[in-house]
Amino acid sequence: MFGRLLRLLLVSGLVTGTVLLLMAGPLRRWLTPPPVAGLNARLSADGRLLGHFPYPEAPADQLVAISADLQLETDAAHALLAMQRAAAVDGVHLVVLSAFRSVSLQRQLFFDVKAARNQSARDRALVSAPPGFSEHSTGFAVDLGDGRLPATNLSTGFDQTPSYRWLAANAHRFHFQLSFPQGNAQGVSYEPWHWRFEGSTEALRLFEPAMRLAR
C-alpha cells in the first residue's frame, strides 16, 4: 500500500513539474514588461513585435551622408549611390525619400502619427515599425521614389512607375531586396518603396531572421 502511494506521489510530482516547465516560457513572456514603453504589445515567440523584428541603431561612426540630410551605413551608401547612377544611365530618376532613422526619430514617427490618425497599435504597425524594430535604424534600409512621379511616393502606386520596374529588374545587382512584398510572412503592409541592403556580412546577420521567415 505504501509503495503504491509513493509511486502515485512520484508520478504526480513528475506531471506537475512537466506542466510547470511547459508554462514557464509563456508565463515569463507575459510577466516581462512590454519591450516598448507606452505600447501594450508583447513579443511573439520568434522575437517580433506586431510583425517587426528587433533591430539595433547603427553607430554614428558607421554612417555616411548620401545627401544633405540623409545617411546610410557605409557599404549600403556606396551601393545605393552606384544604383542611382546606373538607373540614371537608363533614364530612371531614383530618389531617396528616407534612409537611416534613429530610434528616437522612429519613436516620434510611430507614436505621433498614431495619435494624430487615432490608430490602434496594430493598425499603426502595419505601416510603421515600433521604435527599436525598424530596419531604417540599422542604416541598411531606404525608402525610394520616382523623381518624375512624386505623387506615387510612399504609396502602392509606386509599383507602376519606371523606377519600381527598374528596381525589380536590377536592385539585386546592388544587393538591395524588397523588404515587404505582397503577402509577406511578417504580416506588414505591402511597401514597394522600402528596400534593404543585404550586401555585407553584418547586413546578412541582422536580416537573417526576416530572410528565414520569408523562405
Question: Domain extents for the chain?
Answer: 1-32, 60-214
Q: Do 58 and 137 contact (CB within 8 A), yes or no?
A: yes
Topology, domain 60-214: Muramoyl-pentapeptide Carboxypeptidase; domain 2 (3.30.1380)
Q: What is the pLDDT of residues 49-100, one digit of tens each?
A: 889 999 999 999 999 999 999 999 999 999 999 999 999 999 999 999 999 9
pLDDT at residue 2 greater than cutoff 80: no
Task: Pick the closest to residue 74 from 84, 59, 87 (CA basis).
Answer: 59
User: What share of the chain in percent tops pLDDT 70?
Assistant: 83
The 10 Å CB-count burial string (b at 16+, else e) for 120-147 is ebeebbbbbbbbbbbbbbbbbbbbbbbb
pLDDT confidence band for 9 (50 / 70 / 90)? very low
Instruction: Return the H-helix or E-strand segment holding 46.
Output: none
In this prediction, residue 3 carries a pLDDT of 53
Q: What is the pLDDT of residues 98-154, one digit of tens each?
A: 999 999 999 888 777 666 777 776 777 777 888 999 999 999 999 999 999 999 999
- Predicted structure pTM score: 0.81
The cell numbers describing 27, all together, are 508565463
